[in-house]
Amino acid sequence: MAERVIPLVDQRLAALRASVPAQPVAATGLVADTLGRELRDLRISVTDRCNFRCSYCMPKEVFDKNYQYLPHASLLSFEEITRLARQFLAHGVRKIRLTGGEPLLRKNLEILVDQLSQLRTVEGTPPELTLTTNGSLLTRKAQALKDAGLKRVTVSLDGLDDAVFRRMNDVDFPVAEVLEGIAAAREAGLGPVKVNMVVKRGTNDHEILPMARHFKGSGIVLRFIEYMDVGATNGWRMDEVMPSSEVRARIASEFPLVQLDAAAPGETAERWGYVDGEGEVGFISSVTQAFCGDCNRARLSTEGKLYLCLFASNGYDLRELLRGGASDEQLASAIGHIWQGRDDRYSELRSTLPADASAGVRRVEMSYIGG
């Protein structure tokens, strides 16, 4: 087995300048990039902190007690996040997902949820407001989030075996408490709840069928995610990726499946239903089956950098404009101009890139920008 090398990099140090273009880009509710992909989905990271140390995201050997997180003054305030979100909605965004880090670590997050729920899309409807969480704090926060206007949650859960789960989160957190959080979310009405399982060959792939058995017929949508080469700290290797086709075959050996239509354009998960009608499972295959062609997602970091791809190296600094006195029209014009220049499609190109193409490249970390 090859030695695991974890480069120490900090993608937060570099940023691309976000400028107001000389030729304004009006917010008409429709803006497309160089490949014709429209902007429809905004993912907002509200913190770079997490209380788990999953090896594929925030390995303990990097994110230890000496790791320097962003100072509070660097983070966008709730009012700043809401103001930026309003400009994205004016360009056609319909869905906002709050993420992290672990977003529930951000104090008084329900205040932000309430502010965002007051916004309106160009169609005059509230945005679809969702949140991704590890579930550790969900039991105590679910009802307040629902009351504030959150629509649904996605919970990350990489196995049901308690020993495996504790080993993967690397902070000895019990799986039972995550399951309690899922139950609390359902009781609060934050549904349909989705559960995401990152499958890492040789680590938790034996948990695929137990997870399918557990959630089948529950009303919860279980989704399997290929272990991805996001960032530079997780020691990613292709031989640890289990292709979705293999995961699907393993499930189908016990529970016959039939493919379902996509729920919405640009959806990341391929949907499959149980033949007996007892729910569905999803497969997110960004390594073996790229979905760059219709990717409609922008990502805003916790301190205001706009990233155009999960695998990007740098983001555009919107905070500088925001705190420098830019008007709403100028902010919207800058966002539209950045999106119009977007040509990212890393997942499609991955297999054609030279083996050393990523050497020295600082790609954004999952813990910093969210999934």
- With beta carbons less than 8 A apart as the criterion, state whether 102 and 135 touch: no
Residue 359 scores a pLDDT above 50: no
Alpha-carbon separation of residue 336 from 19, 23, 165, 319 (angstroms): 11, 11, 42, 16
Q: Would you say 204 and 166 are in contact if contact means Cβ atoms under 8 Å apart?
A: no
Model confidence over 231-278: pLDDT tens digits? 454 555 777 889 999 999 999 999 999 999 988 776 788 999 999 999
- Residue 327 confidence (pLDDT): 98
Q: Is the pLDDT of residue 1 over 50?
A: no
Q: How far apart are CA 336 and CA 31, in angstroms?
A: 7
Secondary structure (3-state) at 347: helix
Known binding residues for [4Fe-4S] cluster are 50, 54, 57, 292, 295, 309
The token duo for 333 is 């014009």
For the purposes of burial, counting CB atoms within 10 Å of the CB of 144, is it exposed (0-12), middle (13-18) or buried (19 or more)? middle
H/E element holding 329? helix 328-340
Q: What is the pLDDT of residue 268?
A: 80
Give the annotated binding-site residues for GTP: 43, 97, 132, 194, 297-299
Task: Give the other-Cβ count within 10 Å of 353's Cβ.
Answer: 10
| Own/partner pairs, 270-276, CB within 8 angstroms, 24+ separation | 270/244, 272/248, 274/216
Give the distance, in angstroms, between the CA of residue 84 and the centroid of all CA atoms in the same chain.
18
Q: Where are the domains of the chain?
A: 16-369
What Cα–Cα distance (Å) separates residue 223 from each residue in 46, 60, 183, 184, 197? Answer: 23, 26, 17, 20, 6
Taking residue 253's Cβ as centre, other Cβ atoms within 10 Å add up to 9
Architecture of domain 16-369 in this structure: Alpha-Beta Barrel (3.20)
Picking from 114-118, 187-191, 214-218, 346-350, which range would have the lowest pLDDT averaged per residue? 346-350
- DSSP strand pairing (297-300 vs 305-307): antiparallel
Enumerate helices (H) and strands (E) in the chain, giving the number of each.
Answer: 11, 13
Rounded to the nearest integer, the mean pLDDT of the chain is 89
Eight-class DSSP state of 351:
G
Question: Which residue numbers belong to the known binding site for S-adenosyl-L-methionine?
Answer: 56, 101, 156, 228
Q: Kindly state the DSSP code that residue 105 receives in the 8-state scheme.
A: G
Instruction: Using only the alpha carbons of the chain, give its radius of gyration.
Output: 20
pLDDT band at 291 (very low <50, low <70, confident <90, very high): low
pTM: 0.90
Report d(CA 305, CA 259) in Å as an integer.
Answer: 37
Separation CA 248–CA 363 (nearest Å): 30
Q: Is the pLDDT of residue 84 over 60?
A: yes
H/E segment holding residue 70: none
pLDDT at residue 221 above 70? yes
Find the helix or strand (DSSP H, E) in which 165 lies.
Answer: helix 162-169
**Residues comprising the binding site?**
43, 50, 54, 56-57, 97, 101, 132, 156, 194, 228, 292, 295, 297-299, 309
Query: What pLDDT does 262 receive?
Result: 85
pLDDT tens profile 132-158: 999 999 999 999 999 999 999 999 999
Question: Are the C-beta atoms of residues 270 and 285 closer than 8 Å to each other?
Answer: yes
Cα-based angle 329, 333, 335 (whole degrees, multiple of 5): 120
Cis ω before 191 (30° cut-off from 0): no
